[in-house]
Structure 1
Amino acid sequence: MTDTAIAWDTYSRQRPERRPVNSRGETTWFNWTQYEDHGPNAELLDVAPGARVLDLGCGKAGNAAHLAALGMHAVGVDVSPKQLTAARARWSELPGLELHQAEAVQFLQQAREFDAVYSVFGALWFTDPARLLPAIRARLRPGGRLVFSQRPPVEGCYGCQASYIPRGSDEDPLVVKRWDYERDAWKQLLAEHGFGDVRAEVLAAPPGRRTVGTLIVSARA
């Protein structure tokens, strides 16, 4: 299996930078989906200014930066040095934002408690939930919310799947694992690991030619 840091460094080079402002003219914003200016905002986390919030697989940290701008202590974790270099270049002067290069489970094993934990197409999608969910539960304060989003699974393709990151035309793609489950399967997994108030819904894609929505799952410790 491909080294994950190398894979996500490669992915980072393929992704465009977040726009300077969104359609509302905001310099920071939260986006749960794969589409611009679509879907709910940070209210899904149910936290107030001053809260400690953890982004697992923060990438270039646009969502974490938005939480910091709202007055929260936003902690972002990612395995990719290049993603974090880009994040620090853009957000280094923003108070309240803390970034770490680490694997999600290893970071959680040494971290303090958090008021909320979230993942947007991040570590909740690309880490074995049998390892990750107990680690999150151990660091999430009672009543704290876990929220994550990812693409819904392809029908019939459930559990651990191969996810391909393309490289040059003469190179084989890099391969990482991802975990795809339908809504009811996520509800069962979360309940088995001590979470309650579990909700899982597929948010439809914005109007147009796109048909693939976004799976958004939330639960409480």
Structure 2
Amino acid sequence: MSKDQEAVAEHRDTEALLAVLDAADQMPDATRLRARSYELLSLVPGSTVVDVGCGAGRAVAELTGRGVHAVGVDPSPRMLAAARERWTEAEFREAAAEDLPFADGSVRGYRADKVFHLLREPGRAVAEARRVLRPGGRIVLVGQDWDAIMIDSDDAALTRTIVHARADLLGTPRAGRQYRSLLLADGFDDVAVEVHTSVFTDPALLSLLARIAEPACADGAVGRDRVDGWLAEQRRRAETGRMLIAIPFFVASASA
């Protein structure tokens, strides 16, 4: 594959991912979950809040609307380009969660939503959060446990195999259940954990199922025929209003 072809493929994958994220973000459960994360940040008007792994920037725009100086950080230039196009007045910076472009003790709030499962060493990101937060600053971590995703299917065993195979391809697929321990290990205070289960039945989320199944197939964990049959069943469910995906989201909060 030439570099131009690779660029086109990467662009298409980014667009496909954005479509999935947009569809999920607009669901009522997702809207309520974001609002809860903002509440747990104990926002102080005019203070700086960093949204780590900001993606296309929706949370940055919503936080800005709540009167804080929100800064979105993401390692993906393509995601940041989409964010800057969508939210022209917001501030975005390219950086990884383990190396934030902020001085010690310079931010009042830190938020990371669906980020830590991608990291090989989430403890490094927590240490970096601790570094940039001022004393008394708030951290909120939101994310799913990839082993715990529930999908209604006629073949429960195959569904478990697909979900777990996809989880095993991630950096830290069970990061959500580890949030509390990670925060306590780095000396955060007032550590609290909530679990909110989001239920998705909209056919627009059918593409999410493909993004779960296809990597499991590409990795060789599940055969092509079995994945095709499973996805065909899910399409039939979507067409007849019987699709269901339930995802428990862990929400951890603490004070620096």
After TM superposition, the score normalised by the length of structure 1 is 0.71
Which of 56, 60, 80 aligns to 2:56? It is: 60
Gaps of 5+ in 2: 1-6, 149-163, 202-243
Q: How many residues align?
A: 184
> Which residue does 1:145 correspond to in 2?
138
> Which one has the bigger helix percentage?
2
The 3-state SS of whatever aligns with 2:31 is: coil
Contact residue 33 and residue 196 of structure 2 kept, 8 A: yes
> Which residue does 1:27 correspond to in 2?
none
Distance 1:112 1:61, change over 3 A: farther
> Partners of 1:18 and 1:38 in 2: how far apart?
15
> Which residue does 1:162 correspond to in 2?
169
* Aligned: 1:75 with 2:68: no
Runs ≥4 in structure 1, deviation > 4 angstroms? 6-11, 108-112
Distance 1:9 1:117, change over 3 A: farther
Query: How many angstroms does 1:211 deviate by?
Result: 2.4
The 3-state SS of whatever aligns with 1:39 is: helix
* Aligned: 1:48 with 2:44: yes
Q: Deviations over 1:76-114 (max 9, x none)?
A: 11111111111111111x2xx311112222225656611
Which of 113, 124, 127 aligns to 1:134? It is: 127
> Partners of 1:36 and 1:182 in 2: how far apart?
16
Percent of counterpart pairs with the same letter? Answer: 29
> Which residue does 1:37 correspond to in 2?
31
> Which residue does 1:86 correspond to in 2?
82
CA RMSD of aligned residues (A): 3.1
The 3-state SS of whatever aligns with 1:200 is: strand
> Partners of 2:172 and 2:13 in 1: how far apart?
15
Gaps of 5+ in 1: 1-5, 24-30, 164-176
> Partners of 2:185 and 2:113 in 1: how far apart?
22
Contact residue 78 and residue 103 of structure 1 kept, 8 A: yes
> Partners of 2:131 and 2:197 in 1: how far apart?
32
> Which one has the bigger strand percentage?
1
The 3-state SS of whatever aligns with 1:212 is: strand
> Which residue does 1:210 correspond to in 2?
245
Give the counterpart letter for 1:125 in structure 2: H
